[in-house]
Structure 1
């Protein structure tokens, strides 16, 4: 029978408590790079590296730490919020990859002949499983990802042309309207559908954000003059880093 005493907390929770205390009292200030897991394990009474790893993952989920690929684990510093402009004639409708209000750099990875999932196919007006070029973008400020975008283009439109890979060829980085114009397609409008979401673990790992933190997912689709969708994309905007601002003109009534 139970003796009424509570079980001791798991070792990784004990380690996480010590880590929180060091962050709270300034022993580990914002931006501090944590020692290796083996060093921390000895520091925390000889616990194993897996215990340290689980404690770090917990604090990453809580937003106190962040992992940087190839660099290590750091105490997360508060980040300045930026303005992401959604305006007529710029941002969503411009001839550059980066959205208006973004001043950093980006990295892109394209893959051809990717079957279109059902939801993407519906947005593009093509058959499910039709071949597309999928391009994943990471937009960077101070070498850190702050925005994520995944783009889909039907290969039936771009196959065999110099623009088949968005970040390859002579129009790399020019954006959808300019690239499509190069093959004689006029992009006439863009539709955006913003939705609130909570960041999942994979997105949190890429953005250095807490799991479950708020973000806006903007579903963007470009259309040509015939109404055909030529590209669709998901833009993930973390709420703790960006304020989305719409600035649209108001037409005057005709006399």
Structure 2
């Protein structure tokens, strides 16, 4: 017999989850109008008006719905965007902007980055292991936020072996034209392989503030290791996105 398990969430959280899934899966497209409060109350087993309002408020806070006075509640445009990591992997050519800006422009959107900090740190153990650092060896941390149309999209924390970064612009608190992949390639360390591990996690306070997340919203975290020639690890980046805004798309050849 299957195990018995009941959803412990409140009624408004369950309703919000149902509507959210309809939005993210395309059953409710951008610009679609939701039913009236009375219609939603009937659809969800006669729940109270306040329950429906709490559910809708959750989805408005997440940026998935918007209310239009006198007209109703509608699904916001660009409710969820697909991100294809391979589009951002190749280093920019000489004089070219960071691929994030280039790809945003292809979508008719404005991309920009904000460099938050550059520091020499003792990295987390998983970064130590991935970069194959010796005990006590330090790394350079570059932390930035990526924006699309002034909406915070991704918090990135990139680590580089200190021995590799010393004497380079990686240590400068300045944006690097074309991004660090282009700089590393110019230094003789071209990226040859990317290995990503994806996880859904509960956000830290820093992530909530940086990405302007609503309450109780998980994040999608990609842990990426970049290898150069001879499979030398040259970079580890933790890329954190709001799970309700974005999905990752991968194209994998078969055979």
Q: Distance in 1 between matches of 2:76 and 2:225?
A: 33
Structure 2 match to 1:71: none
Contact persistence 2:118–2:171 (CA under 8 A): no
Note the C-alpha offset of 1:177. 3.0
Structure 2 match to 1:115: 122
Structure 1 match to 2:12: none
Corresponding residue to 2:210 among 206, 213, 236: 206
Note the C-alpha offset of 1:166. 7.7
Bigger shift: residues 93-102 or 136-145:
93-102
Corresponding residue to 2:156 among 146, 149, 154: 149
Structure 1 match to 2:201: 197
Q: Distance in 2 between matches of 1:121 and 1:182?
A: 25
Bigger shift: residues 96-105 or 207-216:
96-105
Contact persistence 1:84–1:242 (CA under 8 A): yes
| Structure 1 vs Structure 2 CA RMSD | 3.0
Corresponding residue to 2:139 among 123, 132, 137: 132
Q: Distance in 2 between matches of 1:126 and 1:150?
A: 17
Contact persistence 1:118–1:128 (CA under 8 A): no
User: CA distance change for structure 1 residues 79 and 219 in 2, over 3 Å: closer, same or farther?
Assistant: farther
Q: Give unmatched runs, 5+ long, in structure 1.
A: 1-60, 67-76
Q: What aligned pairs does 1:210-225 form with structure 2 within 5 A after superposition?
A: 210-225=214-229
Does structure 1 residue 187 correspond to structure 2 residue 191? yes
Note the C-alpha offset of 1:187. 2.2
Structure 2 match to 1:177: 181
TM-score (norm 1): 0.60
Q: What aligned pairs does 1:40-189 form with structure 2 within 5 A after superposition?
A: 80=78, 81-87=80-86, 90-95=87-92, 96=98, 98=100, 102-103=104-105, 104-165=111-172, 167-168=174-175, 172-189=176-193
Contact persistence 2:228–2:234 (CA under 8 A): yes
Note the C-alpha offset of 1:64. 5.7
Corresponding residue to 1:237 among 217, 236, 241: 241
TM-superposition CA deviations, 1:160-209 (whole Å, max 9, x none):
134444845xxx14233321121122321111111111223332222121
Note the C-alpha offset of 1:246. 0.8
Note the C-alpha offset of 1:243. 1.9
Count residues with an aligned counterpart. 177
Query: If each structure's strand is expressed as a fraction of its own residues, which one has the higher value?
Result: 1
TM-score (norm 2): 0.60
